[in-house]
Structure 1
């Protein structure tokens, strides 16, 4: 398999890791909020919002990269 054929699967795996990290960090922010620091939890959720804002573009771009020529 040529190196160029690895780009789409690599980017897809990186994206999957990003989504998994988002979910894990969200769980931690929920725990932090439950145990008394709503301000910190809100700050974390605000930072994670960037992932949500970029998700559609990333998915669309990955689909284009992975599309057959």
Structure 2
């Protein structure tokens, strides 16, 4: 009787663990897809271009030794 109960309990725990991993995989995939879509968006491209321009301006300021006056 105890062995049957333990076997049922182990099967239930294994099923719950599998369900948890499946839920985590679905969540992770949704997050990955969301990031992929954002990185392909024009919003991301515009922000990336602005960041590159700002970095170039900082480099120019450093070359010309512009201080914080």
TM-score for the superposition, normalised by structure 2: 0.47
Structure having the higher Rg: 2
Q: Which has the higher contact order (CA 8 A, sep 6+)?
A: 1
